[in-house]
Amino acid sequence: MATGNDLRRMALALEGTTEAPHFDRAAFKVARTYVTLAADGRSANFKFTPDEQEFKCMMAPDAFAPIANAWGRQGWTTATLARLGAAELKSALEMAWAHALPKKKPRR
């Protein structure tokens, strides 16, 4: 059973991650935000690709659900932290974090 403190600790351990306020949530980002943590620490919103979102929701429907708006159609996915183990949380964080890394400039 994961907690908001687990998410914060694991996210900040990922290279380049910083934490900043985001409305009533805490946002974790590198070049872009990849996860936000609810103020009560019970849920988090992850930025996945739509395919990753579909996979996570299919594999753990009790833990993951698309956000019910246009953000959800872009891959933003809500997770109930208490329904995730540490390994599942780490996997979700690493997946979302990879999308937030700075884009590499092509070599000439």
Split into its structural domains, the chain has a count of: 1
Please indicate, yes or no, if residue 68 is contained in any of the structural domains: yes
CA torsion sign, 64 to 75 to 56 to 88?
negative
Range of the domain at 56: 4-100
Phi–psi pair at 107, nearest 5 degrees: -80, 150
What CATH number should be reported for the domain holding residue 24?
3.90.1150.30
Name the nearest CA neighbour of 41 among 77, 9, 67. Answer: 9
pLDDT recorded at residue 104: 77
Terminal C-alpha separation, the chain: 48
Q: Is residue 108 part of a domain?
A: no
Q: For residues 81 and 41, what is the distance between their CA atoms, to the nearest angstrom?
A: 8
Residues of the chain scoring pLDDT < 50: none
What is the side-by-side strand order in the sheet with 64-66?
18-22, 25-29, 33-38, 43-47, 76-80, 64-66
Stated pTM of the model:
0.92
